[in-house]
Amino acid sequence: MKVTFLGTGAGLPSKNRNVTSIVLDLLQERNTMWMFDCGEATQHQILHTSIKPRKIDKIFITHLHGDHIFGLPGLLSSRSFQGGEDPITIYGPTGIRSFIETTISISQSKLSYPIKIIEINEGIIFEDEQFTVTAQKLEHGIESFGFRIDEKDTIGSLLVDKLKADGIYPGPIYQLFKTEKYVTLENGTIVQSAEYIGEPKKGKSVAIFGDTRPKIDLIPFMSDLDLLVHEATFAQDQKQLAFDYFHSTTEQIASIAARAMVKKLILTHISSRFQADDIDQLVAEAKEHFQDTTIAHDFYSYQL
């Protein structure tokens, strides 16, 4: 599982930062990728990476401000020209259906694949045998969501040495220990599979938040995350500005991350008022409260 930042700026593109888009690489887990937000020129950013749009089968939109959705019609259209045939599902606030259907219709774009649009509310919005995705409302000027992605625990490794010690040697029977509760051996003995399976492998948990004021009451939603991705549009001395524009500061989010006991914090959605020389100071502000903090730049990747 890997997170790649295609755009890390706030509001409008700058020379150093494009607007928001994040890709969760699940190629090893399910041979797909999930995208979170799709700001202007996201498809151009993709050209500088190994990401293949045809591998993106889910897009999660945090909110409908332009710097988070203006790249979506272009990406959907280009996906058709890049070998995309598999269905794609888009999750987002009320209004995302109208935005997509209107832009696709007016531009007379022809998609080569089925598209499903789900307008969301709080709670579980997707679940299968591998993952659960939960949406949580935030506090922004318009409806905005955070998404928590929980990978389910997987079965532990087969204890091969123990099997051999008990006279159970490699063969098709080994697969039965992973799929069946009880296994009948060649001599008729019935054994419990769990005796030959190691501890379950704990799944990873990631949360990717849209634009928001800091919310203390979301600490339970963030608890024990392997990775929290959160906006930090402003510096710690700009709390009033952040409040007025429904955003967060470096200090505020780092403090919350510490209370939520997350393992890693990555800050993004950085105001264009900050230049490259300012980033070290922003990082230092956050690290005063949560040491394992990184401020993402465009094309930055983090492997979980």
Residue 22: pLDDT above 90? yes
Residue 83: pLDDT above 80? no
pLDDT at 103: 97
pLDDT at 125: 98
Locate 249 and state its tokens.
Answer: 């500061």
* Burial call 175-208: b when 16+ CB within 10 Å, e when fewer: eebeeeeebeeeeeeeeebeebbeeeeebbbbbb
C-beta of residue 242 within 8 angstroms of C-beta of residue 233: yes
pLDDT at 285: 96
What percent of the chain shows pLDDT beyond 70?
100
Q: Average pLDDT, stretch 6-27? A: 97
pLDDT at 178: 87
Q: Average pLDDT, stretch 231-248? A: 97
C-beta of residue 132 within 8 angstroms of C-beta of residue 146: no
Of 32 and 83, the one with more pLDDT: 32
pLDDT at 243: 97
Residue 81: pLDDT above 90? no
Instruction: Exactly one of 67, 150, 211, 298 is catalytic; name it.
Output: 67
pLDDT at 82: 83
Of 137 and 155, the one with more pLDDT: 137
Bridge-based pairing of strands 2-7 and 301-303 is antiparallel
Of 287 and 155, the one with more pLDDT: 287
3-state SS track over the chain: CEEEEEECECCCCCCCCCECEEEEEEHHHHCEEEEECCCCCHHHHHCCCCCCHHHEEEEECCCCCHHHHCCHHHHHHHHHHCCCCCCEEEEECCCHHHHHHHHHHHCCCCCCCCEEEEECCCEEEEECCCEEEEEEECCCCCCCEEEEEEECCECCCECHHHHHHCCCCCCCHHHHHHHCCEEECCCCCEEEHHHHECCCECCCEEEEECCCCCCHHHHHHHCCCCEEEEECCECHHHHHHHHHCCCCEHHHHHHHHHHHCCCCEEEECECCCCCHHHHHHHHHHHHCCCCCEEECCCCCEEEC
Q: How far apart are CA 260 and CA 98, in angstroms?
A: 36
How many other CB atoms are there within 10 angstroms of residue 102's CB atom? 11
Among residues 102, 69, 74, 116, the alpha carbon closest in space to that of 210 is found at 69
Task: List, for residues 179-193, the tens digit of each pLDDT value.
Answer: 899 999 989 999 999
Q: How far apart are CA 51 and CA 228, in angstroms?
A: 22
User: Tokens 């995302």 appear where?
Assistant: 96
pLDDT at 3: 98
Task: List, for residues 61-78, the tens digit of each pLDDT value.
Answer: 999 999 999 999 999 999
Residue 119: pLDDT above 80? yes
Averaged pLDDT of the chain: 96
Q: Average pLDDT, stretch 162-188? A: 93
Of 16 and 84, the one with more pLDDT: 16
Residue 1: pLDDT above 90? yes
Which residues touch 190 (CB under 8 Å, ≥6 apart)?
182, 183, 184
Among residues 212, 42, 46, 48, the alpha carbon closest in space to that of 141 is found at 212
Among residues 96, 197, 190, 91, the alpha carbon closest in space to that of 146 is found at 91
Distances (CA, A) of 138 to 144, 146, 214: 5, 7, 9
Which domains does the chain carry?
A: 2-154+201-303 (3.60.15.10), 161-196 (no CATH)
Is 278 in the active site?
A: no
